[in-house]
Structure 1
């Protein structure tokens, strides 16, 4: 039996013993599991051996992200956000592309050897955010609901929106290195975007329709409907992978389609996929620490560290400030939204795709991504509780002076489970907004 399995089991059991106690500390679950992974790494105790664990870990990470993408997309209600709460639209429609553009330019300037498409790939891999690494930012009710909602929606959707860019930039980088014949990028575009999206659309819509009919006729209960949704996410991923497409795009589109067809009727059935994603992400951070972060730390360069810090600050915060200009938000709010853009599971898995692509520049790109995520785990985890507390105090004083403050506007209700659950930490809104878990 692989000792890595024992390491995972011990970490889960140990965290379960102190999880609620950690609510009131700056120590997040992501920090705990990443630290456990570093301790179990080949560089420290050798419990997790990349040669024995690597392939299985890659599959686990990819399936976890597929379930996360499906669950997040299924809960999305893009239409209401666009009309009732435009802040997520600003962050996703303008801030996200600009983040990739700024990251591309700085990456090309700092890493000359990876070429323009390698730099674009690096920027795209590091563009999505993950609210799980700074959970108090979106669960502390002292923070205005409009801002928590914007960060929550952004973190739930930007990984899916970045997927096509990662796929295309990876194909262009490989074609630039002549690792494939002419037109390779076009064939990838057709398979990964159009064919994979078609698989996801057909499977998600048909599957949700069948489940809704079955539920309405009393043929199936919530427990097995939950299992069916989990199977639907995995099936979309696997079918797209069989045609060398993008399983992630298929899973994300399947979630969107299922949500459009039966979001309300299958709302309660999402509990199992969300809980599976919760546990999967926790284990993923342990694997991240053992298989990716430990080697990255072992060979870290000052240039890689500098780019990581720029990615968490300038590359994120400047585009956010530009995206929110004209929104009438206070500078304190813009700084809060800009800083709390943690990098997490999506960046880890996307970097894993680069690591197995055969791209010559992967030896430069992957360590930079892993160092950036590692710094994000620590910096965003430590600053989330105090940052939310300080911003909440500022907001309370500001809204008392100016009740018409833009931040005081109401965001659309997200319901009991969406956006405060899945990989961002289980959250019980009906119990007064107390988080059930903090990774």
Structure 2
């Protein structure tokens, strides 16, 4: 209860000074991470957080489930801008798997002797992108709309695709001795299949019910905000009850519900988006608290080298190479490759891995995540504005763009 009181108080105080802090490039994620370091970090925290409890783990999983749902529904605003483009298929089908492989190989190079399963978990944790740390970039009209569209859709889909792989790799490390590799594969596939079925059923039925209610005027449009808020929690809970993957279920439900939003209006997602941002800030706070425990084992030069290689080589090279020959210009390809900030998805995956893995493995994931996310917040935050100015001076040729999507969120 004390932690909840602190988080809500911090939110209220941040709102009062948010514009002033924005002038110094201090966003809400940075502010909450700093608060986590100051209040809940170290050996004698002011506000203690027990991260080993089942409630805490479920809470973090719900954070990611709600974010995956909103990511899936928000893609509707940007998808028309890339219709007919081969870029998105290449980003998700080529660049993403190559980036994961390169991140694992980077880990093997920088941390020789580390098990491949642990390196795979590290790659799955640090590669998902999250635009919250540079959210103003998505609202900046100086940036070509199709660049922002590609980043938005990629950010929404890559964590949804990665989540079942993350669960599988973590399970392989912590599995009981009696579980064979085949058992783990079958369990992972079962979880994805069950989750896809549950998410599709809930998303489809909810879409039909909301449309019928809207068309027959059985509910006011404003009330559909509560329906949208309930859906990710319903999909996650129903999937977990039958041993399905709650992340996948929430993401699939969002994909189904996205078309309904076009009918009832984007305002119906305002509440769930606000809740998603609020929950994300709690994850940043937990990350700040955990960061104080990072780097205790040394190896700081190796961790920084890993972070640099992951952010630049493992991300930039596959993205730029996969988009060669597409309708993106060379500067646009470079911008998409460079802007892959790490944030809440990496934090949630890292915390979940930290509380499930044994000691040294947990510390390793915490260290590589802390180094990667902290470096990402720094370099992507610093370079976003110069990049926007460059595009303002060098307009890129492109076809007619649809109406600009409305900005969302407070993060």
- Normalization by structure 2: what TM-score? 0.89
CA distance in 1, matches of 2:23, 2:392: 16
CA distance in 1, matches of 2:12, 2:43: 21
Deviations 1:118-175 (A, max 9, x none): 2122112222111111123222111111212212222222211222322333334445
Mapped pair 1:314 → 2:318: no
Distance 1:375 1:137, change over 3 A: same
Distance 1:57 1:375, change over 3 A: farther
Task: Name the residue aligned to 1:93.
Answer: 93
Does the residue aligned with 2:293 lie in a helix, a strand or coil?
A: helix
User: In 1, are the aligned partners of 2:79 and 2:153 still within 8 Å (CA)?
Assistant: no
CA distance in 2, matches of 1:184, 1:47: 44
Q: Which moved more, 1:159-168 or 1:32-41?
A: 159-168
Does the residue aligned with 1:75 lie in a helix, a strand or coil?
A: helix
Task: Name the residue aligned to 1:430.
Answer: none
Q: How many residues align?
A: 408
Alignment of 1:219-368 (within 5 A): 219-260=218-259, 263-265=262-264, 267-290=266-289, 292-302=290-300, 303-327=302-326, 329-358=328-357, 361-368=361-368
CA distance in 2, matches of 1:236, 1:81: 29
Q: Measure how far apart 1:21 and its partner are.
A: 2.8
Mapped pair 1:75 → 2:74: yes
Deviations 1:31-80 (A, max 9, x none): 11111111112318612323378654433332122111112212334974
Does the residue aligned with 2:72 lie in a helix, a strand or coil?
A: helix
Task: Name the residue aligned to 2:195.
Answer: 196
Distance 1:53 1:106, change over 3 A: closer
Task: Name the residue aligned to 1:120.
Answer: 120
User: In 2, are the aligned partners of 1:136 and 1:385 still within 8 Å (CA)?
Assistant: no
CA distance in 2, matches of 1:379, 1:6: 32
Deviations 1:220-260 (A, max 9, x none): 22333211221111011112222332111110011112224
User: In 2, are the aligned partners of 1:352 and 1:366 still within 8 Å (CA)?
Assistant: yes
User: In 2, are the aligned partners of 1:88 and 1:151 still within 8 Å (CA)?
Assistant: no
User: In 2, are the aligned partners of 1:100 and 1:124 still within 8 Å (CA)?
Assistant: yes
CA distance in 2, matches of 1:170, 1:413: 42
CA distance in 1, matches of 2:222, 2:52: 32
Q: Measure how far apart 1:318 and its partner are.
A: 0.9
CA distance in 2, matches of 1:155, 1:280: 18
CA distance in 1, matches of 2:256, 2:67: 15
Q: Which runs of 5+ in 2 are unaligned?
A: none
Distance 1:182 1:116, change over 3 A: closer
User: In 2, are the aligned partners of 1:126 and 1:343 still within 8 Å (CA)?
Assistant: yes
Distance 1:151 1:190, change over 3 A: closer
Distance 1:294 1:332, change over 3 A: same
User: In 1, are the aligned partners of 2:82 and 2:150 still within 8 Å (CA)?
Assistant: no
Q: Which moved more, 1:5-14 or 1:270-279?
A: 5-14
CA distance in 2, matches of 1:21, 1:274: 24
Task: Name the residue aligned to 1:16.
Answer: 15
Q: Measure how far apart 1:194 and its partner are.
A: 0.5
- Normalization by structure 1: what TM-score? 0.84
User: In 1, are the aligned partners of 2:50 and 2:56 still within 8 Å (CA)?
Assistant: no
Does the residue aligned with 1:50 lie in a helix, a strand or coil?
A: coil
Distance 1:65 1:52, change over 3 A: closer
CA distance in 2, matches of 1:410, 1:45: 57
CA distance in 2, matches of 1:299, 1:411: 51
Distance 1:392 1:81, change over 3 A: closer
CA distance in 2, matches of 1:207, 1:49: 39
Q: Which moved more, 1:221-230 or 1:177-186?
A: 177-186
Distance 1:178 1:115, change over 3 A: farther
